[in-house]
Amino acid sequence: MLFSRLREDVETVFRKDPAARTAFEVLTCYPGLHALWLYRLSHWLWRHRRYWFARFISHLARFLTGIEIHPGAMIGRRVFIDHGMGIVIGETAVIGDDVLIYKGAVLGGVSLTKGKRHPTIGDRVVIGSNATILGPVEIGHDARIGSGAVVVKSVPEDSTAVGVPARIVRGPHLERGPAASLSHAELPDPFAEQYRRLTEEVQSLEKSLEAVRTSMGQLARESLVASQNGSDPRDEDRPKNVAMVHNGQER
């Protein structure tokens, strides 16, 4: 069981990192893998009430890898931490299976009370570089958190959240699979989208205004020609059977 889990972790690196070349390289040069293995040891100690020893192993892992994972956190299978420097995962955080986490991500708490105070991450979630997820929020399965986002509210399944504070900018049915997970930089920009819509609206108004100007110019030219010919083009639009009034009497 132990060796099959270790082998699964190594295979996960090969699936999610195209830079991985050999098993020896993965075993010796991947701090995210080392941090997860040391976490599992500290988590086992935590579950068996060896709290100080568990925290010491966690502290040692932080010193060696730059990744801080509290031994009380719950982490699923096939989780991959890419680079990992600066990652912090709090005590009551829960991470599902097949999650991809990039460097600098923080799963933090916003409360001093005991109990659940850190995020719950669903399966197949991608957490971009320097993203911060705060509080006991839930990130649904297959969601993507953009780089630098600050998430303080729950994110539904199959959605993308970007910005500070994070906003949901794309709905369900995201593309799945390893290739889609690695495309974490291809995220929508809500501000750019808003500017694009405003630009299109301004261009539409400019076209309408130009059409009005053209029409008014044409009407002015027709009026000038008619006045030079001694007639008023507006007379053609007047009713033919109009009561004629002369000296105050109807004729």
Question: Is residue 130 exposed (0-12), middle (13-18) or buried (19+ Cβ within 10 Å)?
Answer: middle
Which one has a higher pLDDT value, 251 or 140? 140
Range from 29-43, 51-65, 112-126, 163-177 carrying the lowest mean pLDDT: 163-177
pLDDT (tens digit per residue) in 117-135: 999 999 999 999 999 999 9
Q: Which two tokens stand for residue 55?
A: 């925290």
Residue 246 has pLDDT above 80, yes or no: no
Residue 231 has pLDDT above 70, yes or no: no
Cα–Cα dist 150/152, whole Å: 6
Fold of 2-186: UDP N-Acetylglucosamine Acyltransferase; domain 1 (2.160.10)
Distance set, CA 213 to CA 1, 201, 202 (Å): 79, 18, 16
pLDDT confidence bin for 242, thresholds 50/70/90:
very low
Calculate the dihedral angle through the C-alpha atoms of 61, 26, 89, 130, rounding to the nearest 10 degrees.
120
CA 242, 248, 251 angle in degrees (round to 5)?
45
pLDDT at 207 over 50: yes
Residues 125-149 have a mean pLDDT of 91
Domain range list for the chain: 2-186, 194-250
142, 125 in Cβ contact below 8 A?
yes
pLDDT confidence of residue 54: 94
Does residue 233 or residue 133 have the better pLDDT? 133
**Pairing status of strand 120-121 against strand 245-246:** unpaired
- Choose between 110 and 63: higher pLDDT: 63
pTM value > 0.85: no
Statement: residue 79 has pLDDT above 70: yes
